[in-house]
Structure 1
């Protein structure tokens, strides 16, 4: 019998875990024709999440526990779960109950028709308009400059074949987007739309700074656009400088300029310094990623596994 692995990254989700397990048991496990395992990955939670995970494991022998030594981030936690799962395919499931559990069956159905990747795309979300706008903006920008196959509105959950699981685990990339890697792999892909629910239990730890980091990792990890943009600005600035130089020389020869232009000189200096700093910042982001990769530190460290 084929086996499905359900990977759930856990970070300060002590209150969600029992409702999540009951929801999965009722809406997924009871209807599955496949064998399955539920892989819970504690991403360095400081609440009672791991204790609840241990209690659930006593109730169900198909639950696999993975505890990371500290908080490495959600994508690293998912990767840790993928490295320990044994299924023919694996699906990422959020612990916050904002995704309908039954969509896993829909994703599995699409997988059985020959698709090696199935994305759970956000058709709508019961969340504030600002959050919707930011999410849509991120997906649109990624689609335009980095990953053309990014679905409109983006996605969080996915189902992938064992071939892709092994690929992602072998890559061991850091400072990257796991979702971007799934899209980058280029395998036959299907989508399952769903409405993201409003969170009713607990508080989200998906902070603005983490969202910004994900956006930067996605841009720098899958697009050369930032460095091309800086190069383009540099070329335009060079042309503008040459034109300004010619105009200045002509005016000087015609006697229009009788004194040094302090304001003009200051503006040019500030623009030049700003451009140099911007260029160094973009180049520095790429150099940091090269340096981080050469150190070969693992993207996650497993403390316990049961």
Structure 2
């Protein structure tokens, strides 16, 4: 009898959990009767009553709900890795705790898995959200598709269904400061893409702040592309070529006695422009160096405080 592990990272979701748990249990009726379910819910260092809500869900279904309490907040991607490590299913799904992704889509994903596919992606074809949030998401994934991973689906995704074999690869890699979902695509397994419209959040407030979005953008670019380093090299070569040609121009004019005294303003513009480029270049290189240091220290991605399972 196959087992499906549904992994859900939770951070300040105390009001979502009762609704989410009811929808997940009701969703089981859409699957074949011989499928066993396991829910792995990871409390990512929440400071509200999220853990208590998770434990209430576990108390109602002690044989199928596993609650993982992390010692501190490590981010949703690391929390998901913690959930993958605790999951025991033959196949796994990752879904958000706020039910913006439709759980009924997992039925179609399961059908594809039974046909032998190792990775099935729920692709956000559109969003009910509007404004800057939608604009940022579209721009981010379009840029990543252009310069890093051309085989990712349009619109981005964080609703995935995958085989245990994929899960084992993720645990072996132990990537840090990366994008977990892009990493699954990077593994190279053929995947099928199922488009859907992401729902608007109805309960609670998103903790996906602009700072976290910027960090994810930087992590994703640096983890899967050498574009920033190559861009620095190309710009440096262009600037060096222009400086060399201008140097020849000055020498020729000096030799024939036609050189004019350059103004202070023009000199300052050049100095400030070059200095700004150097600082940006050092910042990009520093990001790569810092990630190398972070990987070399081999600190754990997360610390599990306690696992609640069974009676």
Shift of 1:152: 0.5
Shift of 1:260: 4.4
Measure the CA separation in 1 of the matches of 2:15 and 2:283.
Answer: 41
Give the corresponding residue for 1:16: 16
Measure the CA separation in 2 of the matches of 1:212 and 1:242.
Answer: 37
Q: What are the Cα deviations for residues 141-196 of structure 1, in whole angstroms up to 9, with x where unaligned?
A: 11111111111111111111111101111211111110111111010201111111
Measure the CA separation in 2 of the matches of 1:247 and 1:274.
Answer: 25
The alignment yields a C-alpha RMSD, in angstroms, of: 1.3
Shift of 1:258: 3.6
Shift of 1:27: 2.0
Give the corresponding residue for 2:182: 180
Give the corresponding residue for 1:205: 207
Asked whether the 8 Å contact 1:28–1:101 carries over to 2, the reply is: no
Give runs of aligned pairs for residues 34-183 of structure 1, distance below 5 A: 34-61=35-62, 62-183=64-185
Runs of 4+ more than 4 Å apart: none
Asked whether the 8 Å contact 1:32–1:105 carries over to 2, the reply is: no
User: What SS does the corresponding residue of 1:97 show, helix, strand or coil?
Assistant: coil
Asked whether the 8 Å contact 2:112–2:120 carries over to 1, the reply is: yes
Asked whether the 8 Å contact 2:142–2:154 carries over to 1, the reply is: yes
Asked whether the 8 Å contact 1:126–1:195 carries over to 2, the reply is: yes
Measure the CA separation in 1 of the matches of 2:262 and 2:16.
Answer: 69
Measure the CA separation in 2 of the matches of 1:167 and 1:200.
Answer: 35
Q: Structure 1: where are the runs of 5+ without partners?
A: none
Shift of 1:30: 5.6
Shift of 1:244: 1.1
Asked whether the 8 Å contact 2:6–2:94 carries over to 1, the reply is: yes
Q: What are the Cα deviations for residues 186-232 of structure 1, in whole angstroms up to 9, with x where unaligned?
A: 10201111111111110000111101111100000010000000000
Q: Structure 2: where are the runs of 5+ without partners?
A: none
Give runs of aligned pairs for residues 275-286 of structure 1, distance below 5 A: 275-286=277-288
Quick one: which of 284, 301, 309 aligns to 1:299?
301
Q: What are the Cα deviations for residues 82-120 of structure 1, in whole angstroms up to 9, with x where unaligned?
A: 000000111001001111110111111121122100000
Query: TM-score, normalization: structure 1?
Result: 0.97
Deviates more, 1:242-251 or 1:87-96: 242-251
Instruction: Note closer, same or farther for the CA distance 1:188–1:258 as it changes in structure 2 (3 Å cut).
Output: closer
How many residue pairs align between the two structures? 306
Measure the CA separation in 1 of the matches of 2:31 and 2:173.
Answer: 34
Measure the CA separation in 2 of the matches of 1:268 and 1:190.
Answer: 51
Asked whether the 8 Å contact 2:30–2:104 carries over to 1, the reply is: no
Measure the CA separation in 2 of the matches of 1:32 and 1:298.
Answer: 38
Quick one: which of 254, 270, 273 aligns to 2:272?
270
Deviates more, 1:79-88 or 1:147-156: 147-156
Deviates more, 1:266-275 or 1:117-126: 266-275
Measure the CA separation in 1 of the matches of 2:126 and 2:44.
Answer: 28
